[in-house]
Amino acid sequence: MSPPPVFHDDHAVQLLQGTREFFPALVAAMDAARSDIQFETYIFDCTDGGADVAEALIRAAARGVRTHLVVDGVGTGPLPTAWAARMLAAGVQVRVYSRLGPLGLLLPHRWRRLHRKLCVVDGRLLFCGGINVLDDFHDPNHGALEAPRLDFAVCITGSLVQQASEAMEQLWWRMQTVRDVARHQIPQALRSLRAAWQHHPAVPDAAVDGTLLPAPGGMRAALLLRDNVRHRTRIEQAYRRAIGAAQHEVIIANAYFLPGGRLRRALVAAARRGVRVRLLLQGRYEYFMQYHAARPVYGALLAAGVEIYEYAPSFLHAKVAVVDALGERPWATVGSSNLDPLSLLLAREANVVVEDAAFAADLRQRLEHAMQHEGRRIDPASYAHRPWRERLLDRVAFGLMRLALWVTGKRY
């Protein structure tokens, strides 16, 4: 197990729920930017509220702010022509992470995606969470939604902002290096490679309007970045440490839930030693694999006393957890990482961990409301006697997921 994350206690962290809270805060920060916007997202969709974010990026670039946008090659299709032209004309620099190519996802190495959602403004303000640039009432596959997705992000000031900025800067210049090499521009590639390892330049102290920052505070927080090189298990290990230390309560809300054996055993062990363990999971059908492959793991969890709720009004997209919010050592995380093989073994992810009583209590209250008023609790007896067709689909999906893991050579 790798060393625990390094915490600093100079942070102010504000919890944001859904795009109705996240987008206005993000747009306001971009409109106040004076030097630099670094932005990474899996999905960038210009429908409804997403258009507000796109407009803010264009306004910032047009007034001379260095504006870098990185989107994933699977999550984000080609931007609409009109939007792409406007971004180019304004000076927004857009890069696509890991374009699929002619064979698409048939190549296992293409399963490694950029799934983290990060935005740093002027080197002083960080947004991190699970929310894409995708309006909560719009879905590319299902159209208009009657109720908003359940998802969260945080707005942060403090030490970890620079850590996020440097990680984003390195990824940007590594992508630029690959692009230069592909164009046979070797001198430019060498300059890009050097830039990837240089310290991101500081910005003026006056940058970022102070009215946009979370209230000053001394909140303990750490940033967990998952990659496929040095930090392959950081997020999963943080979950396991927190669950293993839990004394009273564990609440996890996760969109795509298929934890590996060690994480499942940690949840079962917590429940058996008297910790109340509650899971809020996806209740609406979205994708065959993610929906059905999760259900075979419910049995052992329910047998151990874990409470499982499925979110009913709309799609659940949250990737958050809170442990012992009302105890002496509160722990909470908000980020992009699902508890499934794609996130924990293959994707670039980013989670923020916060050890603060007020923050943990706020997140706990919102999850309590969702479980009690918008969740359906799974009855163990009903689960055991679900229709044979459902059980068959569950086993097929679970088997396909195990086969995919075997193809990648990963142990889970």
| Average confidence score pLDDT of the chain | 91
Give CATH for domain 220-408.
3.30.870.10
Contact call for residues 282 and 149 (beta carbons, < 8 A): no
- Residues 96-148 have pLDDT tens digits of 999 988 888 888 888 899 999 999 999 999 999 999 999 999 999 899 999 99
Q: Which CATH architecture has domain 10-212?
A: 2-Layer Sandwich (3.30)
Same fold, 10-212 and 220-408: yes
Which sequence spans correspond to the domains of the chain? 10-212, 220-408
pTM of the model: 0.92
What single-letter amino acid sits at 203? V
Burial class, 406, CB count within 10 angstroms (exposed 0-12 / middle 13-18 / buried 19+): exposed
> How would residue 321 be classed by pLDDT, with cut points 50, 70 and 90?
very high
Q: Which residue has the higher pLDDT, 237 or 404?
A: 237
What pLDDT is recorded for position 411?
Answer: 78
Given the structure tokens 């075979």, which residue do they identify? 296
> How would residue 201 be classed by pLDDT, with cut points 50, 70 and 90?
very low
The values of phi and psi at residue 63, to 5°, are -95, 10
What pLDDT is recorded for position 179?
Answer: 72
What pLDDT is recorded for position 129?
Answer: 98
- Residues 392-404 have pLDDT tens digits of 999 999 999 989 8
Residues known to be catalytic? 115, 117, 122, 317, 319, 324
- Tell me how far apart the alpha carbons of residues 410 and 362 are, in angstroms, rounded to a whole number: 37
